[in-house]
Amino acid sequence: MIREPRRLKDVLAQGQFAVTVEYNPPKGTNLTHVVESAKALVGRVHGVNVTDNTAAIVRAGSLPVCRVLYELGHDPVMQLTCRDRNRIAMQSDLMGAHILGIRNILCLTGDYPTVGDHKEAKPVYDLDSVQVMQLVTGLNNGKDYAGNKLDGSTAFTIGGAVTPEADPLGPMLVKFEVKVRAGAEFFQTQAIYQPEQFKTFMQAVRPFNVKVLAGILLLRSAKMAEFMNANIPGVCVPQDMIDEMRAAGDKRALDAGVEIAVRTIKAVRPYCDGVHIMAIKSTERLPEILTKAELG
């Protein structure tokens, strides 16, 4: 018998500090690592995101992995990008997700295929992330995107992405409001490393009736931090953090990354509604991060 997980939506509605984590599905069919890691987090986190061919790299689908995590006792957050599906396929997958017990959808644009491992793939982008939110809202109200009545509606909590350290911040705040009006109920942010700047962002978005989970991306090396600064818009790892990672040396760089993540969680906690922890390739450190950050 499958144990019904505690729903992320309820945690957010009750004003509790929410904790979500993220998994990449395997590039293949071996789910052992994901399952073993996720088992250790049952009851310790409120949501588990499953990426959708992130960085345009082919992996197992988000939906089936979400179902496996649901059966373990988690409340999955299914990521859905605009890159690979048109509106027909999206709606079909979303109705299927509801049937399988999935209740959270994170609507994303998706990286362009040229950054991934199938550079000749044709991008779809039939809808953008805001239109997908509107599409999901329609399904929740019992109608498809063309206005046709459904035989049974969905019941999704809609999530979006935002970049608090964008420079300038103004255009990002405009897009934030557009997403709220399209139906977004919670946001998981891009990785943040500057708590004071994040505080300014939170002051700007607090008038909106939505929840914000601060993105915490575990650094594994100084080289990784420098790569992010050079290649990921809206992410800025301060030089002192990079120096801290380099001073730790190759063997202890990940330990330093864990300490930076813990410090950042504690620093942003007073300003936001939760954290979304991304420890891709180092998910075995998630229990340690939760414990040290006093998150359960």
Show the domains of the chain with their CATH numbers: 8-218+269-283 (3.20.20.220)
b/e string for 137-163 if b means 16 or more Cβ within 10 A? bbbbeeebbeeeeeeeebebbbbbbbb
Asked whether the predicted pLDDT for residue 1 surpasses 80, the reply is no
Mean pLDDT (whole number) for 198-227: 96
b/e string for 119-133 if b means 16 or more Cβ within 10 A? eebeebeebebbbbb
b/e string for 33-72 if b means 16 or more Cβ within 10 A? ebeebbeebeeebbbbbbbbbbebeebbebbebbbbbbeb
What is the model's pLDDT at position 192?
Answer: 96
Amino acid at 225: A
Confidence of residue 159 (pLDDT cuts 50, 70, 90): very high
Per DSSP, 149 falls in state: B
- Which CA distances in Å does 77 have to 85, 189, 193, 196, 276? 18, 14, 24, 28, 11
What is the model's pLDDT at position 16?
Answer: 96
> pLDDT tens digits for 235-277?
999 999 999 999 999 999 999 999 999 999 999 999 999 999 9
What is the model's pLDDT at position 270?
Answer: 97
Closest CA to 162 of 123, 104, 204, 119: 204
How distant is the alpha carbon of residue 101 from its chain centre? 19
Amino acid at 237: V
Backbone φ and ψ of 105, nearest 5°: -130, 130
What is the model's pLDDT at position 273?
Answer: 98
Mean pLDDT (whole number) for 3-29: 94
Q: Please say whether the beta carbons of 106 and 160 come within 8 A.
A: yes
Per DSSP, 7 falls in state: P
Residue 213, H or E segment: strand 211-217
Tell how strand 76-81 and strand 104-108 pair up: parallel
Asked whether the predicted pLDDT for residue 3 surpasses 80, the reply is no
What is the model's pLDDT at position 211?
Answer: 98
Q: Position of tokens 């979500």?
A: 20
Sign of CA dihedral 56, 57, 58, 64: negative
Q: Please say whether the beta carbons of 45 and 20 come within 8 A.
A: yes
| Beta carbons within 8 Å of 284's beta carbon, 6+ residues apart | 37
Confidence of residue 280 (pLDDT cuts 50, 70, 90): confident
What is the model's pLDDT at position 167?
Answer: 85
Q: How far apart are CA 237 and CA 246, in angstroms?
A: 13
> pLDDT tens digits for 131-149?
999 999 999 999 999 999 9
> pLDDT tens digits for 68-92?
999 999 999 999 999 999 999 999 9
Asked whether the predicted pLDDT for residue 2 surpasses 80, the reply is no
> pLDDT tens digits for 183-212?
999 999 999 999 999 999 999 999 999 999
Q: Please say whether the beta carbons of 109 and 123 come within 8 A.
A: no
What is the model's pLDDT at position 234?
Answer: 87
Reported pTM: 0.95
Residue with more model confidence, 266 or 280 = 266
Tell how strand 18-23 and strand 157-162 pair up: unpaired
What is the model's pLDDT at position 197?
Answer: 94
What is the model's pLDDT at position 134?
Answer: 98
Whole-number average pLDDT of the chain? 96
Q: Please say whether the beta carbons of 277 and 21 come within 8 A.
A: yes
What is the model's pLDDT at position 88?
Answer: 98
Q: How far apart are CA 46 and CA 18, in angstroms?
A: 6
